[in-house]
Each structure stands twice: as C-alpha cells, then as structure tokens.
Structure 1
Amino acid sequence: MSLPDKAFPVTWDQFHRDARALAWRLAGTNNNWKAIVCITRGGLVPAAVIARELGVRLIETVCVASYHDYNSQGELQILKEINPALLVDEGKDILIVDDLTDTGKTAAIVRAMVPKAHFATMYAKPKGRPLVDTFVTEVSQDTWIYFPWDMGFSYQRPIAEKDKE
C-alpha cells in the first residue's frame, strides 16, 4: 500500500467532537427526522452519536462497498438497500449519515435512492462536496483520512523528514 501525499489522522476524541458538532449543525435544520440511514461501515459510528444527540431512535443502514483495499476506490457494490418503508416520498425527513464523502460516487448512489433526504458527513473532499448538505470539515482531495478504527499506536515521522525523501 502506497502512502498518501497528505495524512489526516483522526483520534477517537476528535471523531466524537466532530460527530457532536455535526449533530449541532443538524439540530438547526430539522427537528422531525423520521430516521437516520447510515452508510456502512463508516457511517455507523457517527450515526450512533448523532442519533443520541438528536433523539432519533430509528436507524437503518445502506451497505455500499467501495474501498476494497484501503488504498483505492474500486467498483461500487450495493450489498444492502434501504428499507422500502423509508423510501416513501423520496426520503423526505430522512437523514443520511456517513463519515466521509470522497469522490462522491457512493453519495450519488445513495442520493439517487432518497433524493429528498438530507445528506450529512463528518468530512468532505472537493469532488464529493456538492452532494452533501451538511458537513464539519473539508479536506483536500489528496488527503487520506485515517479513522480511529483503522489505526494502531505507532511512531509517526515528522513532516519535515518526509519532505527529505
């Protein structure tokens, strides 16, 4: 696996703060969410935090596989679709939650399923940004976000040393 040009490591504490910040922003957009549909797997953790903060009890998943080797995005596969009961009225008052929108390919597939849903992500990259209604942090397209569930404890070389390679 080749290392990205830019890395954005996210700790559990930072992820939790960002999930609560996203919930805070969402609280001002709609107080009548019927359900949260999280895009698995990345959307599971923020969906749990947001559901708690907004008092939403119904959580559904849509399972879309795109990153097959943690390095590059492959062909998208829908492994599980959204419950048809939530597709009524094109997803009005449904909140879609994911950890990241990168190229926007996954977001486009889910957005097509529920075009009236509100789409929220923790982090957004420029290519995927137009498909998202609410997000917390934008990062450059060439940045790889290391989520806390993907990391272990290891030494990180200083940025200045990486530039000398």
Structure 2
Amino acid sequence: MTEQLPHEKGFHISWDQIHRDSRALAWRLDKKGPGEDGSWRAIVAITRGGMAPAMIIARELDVRTVDTISVKSYDWQMQSRAQVLKHPSPEVMGNEGEGVLIIDDLVDTGKTLELVRQMYPKAHFATVYAKPHGRPMVETFITEVSQDTWIFFPWDMALQYVRPYRGD
C-alpha cells in the first residue's frame, strides 16, 4: 500500500465556501452574546487564519470593534509549541475577555486555543472547522473533519498544473 499524498486526504476550501461557512458561524453566534440584546462587545481574530472568518462574522453581526491576537503554532506544516507574538488591546479584552468572540479558522489539536483560553477564560471561542482533538477548546463551530484530514484554505493555495492520475 502506498502512502497517501496530502491532497488525497485533504479538504479543499474555496473562497466561496469559507465565506458561506463563516456566515453560518455568524448566524449560529447571533444573539448568543452576553449583551442585553445578545450582542458581542468585540471580535478578536487569531492570526492569520482567523482573519477572514472574523471579518465576515464582524460584518454579519455588526460588531465594529475588531482586534487580533497573533499566535504562532506551526512552522510550515509542522506543529510546534504555541507562543503569543502579539496581544490584543487590554481595553478590548476587558475582564478576562468577557463579551468577546475569539475567532479562528480551525481548531486542530487545540493547543493554540488552550493558550488563548488561559489568558481570556471568559471569552467565547468559535472556529469555522474543528477536529476531534481540539473540539473541547471551542464552544461553537460549523464543520467537523477527521483528525488526519489536512484542510487546504484558499489563502494557502495557488492554481497550478497537476499531472493526470494515469500520466500524460
């Protein structure tokens, strides 16, 4: 048996799909915030993958305060120890993140969200996609994929020629 190539156990996400799934996540989060009307105080995107979904969710939920937290947990496609490179504004985060939506594209092992959750335990954590090992770290998500599936996001892709399966 030959080893599978990355694209053979891959889940390819188009720009249209990430937009639809991010809107679905917004609808799931609508009126679930701690505000009197169910609103959220702010959105914090985990860079870089959470930026596109956070922008879409902020628009859909009419949240105008958006910040970022930069967490590095991958070197190329190898997972490493998660470390915070940039923190969100203390004014935005307030009381341990209460009323703040923290958005990422994917929870994989959960190490990134675990680190951020320790810093902001009262925030609400939402991702567009979730893998089983990381699911306990996220309150809201749209689609679950298997742990051994590699998700190909549109910002990581380029159109290029691919040889036919049976050769030229």
Q: Do both share a fold (TM > 0.5)?
A: yes
**Quick one: distance in 1 between partners of 2:138 and 2:65?**
21
Number of matched pairs: 158
- Alignment check: 8 A CA contact 1:95 1:120 kept: yes
Paired residue type of 1:67:
Y
**Quick one: distance in 1 between partners of 2:130 and 2:138?**
8
**Quick one: distance in 2 between partners of 1:3 and 1:59?**
38
1:39-118 matches, cutoff 5 A: 39-69=46-76, 71-118=77-124
In the alignment, is residue 15 of structure 1 matched against residue 22 of structure 2? no
- Alignment check: 8 A CA contact 2:129 2:144 kept: yes
The Cα shift of 1:105 comes to 0.2
SS at match of 1:8: strand
What whole-Å deviation, never above 9, does each CA across 1:82-140 have from its counterpart, x for those lacking one? 21123332111100000000000000011111101110000000010001000000000
The Cα shift of 1:3 comes to 4.0
What's the TM-score, normalizing by structure 1? Answer: 0.89
The Cα shift of 1:57 comes to 0.3
The Cα shift of 1:6 comes to 1.3
Q: CA 1:14–1:157 in 2, change beyond 3 Å: closer, same or farther?
A: farther
**Quick one: distance in 2 between partners of 1:156 and 1:27?**
41
Q: Which runs of 5+ in 1 are unaligned?
A: none
- Alignment check: 8 A CA contact 1:125 1:139 kept: yes
What's the TM-score, normalizing by structure 2? Answer: 0.87
Paired residue type of 2:72:
A
Identity level (%):
59
Paired residue type of 1:18:
D
Paired residue type of 2:58:
A
**Quick one: distance in 1 between partners of 2:162 and 2:65?**
40
In the alignment, is residue 27 of structure 1 matched against residue 30 of structure 2? yes
Structural RMSD (CA): 1.9
Greater percentage in helix: 1
Q: Which moved more, 1:113-122 or 1:22-31?
A: 22-31
Q: Could you list the runs of 4 or more consecutive aligned residues of structure 1 that deviate by over 4 angstroms after TM superposition? A: 155-158
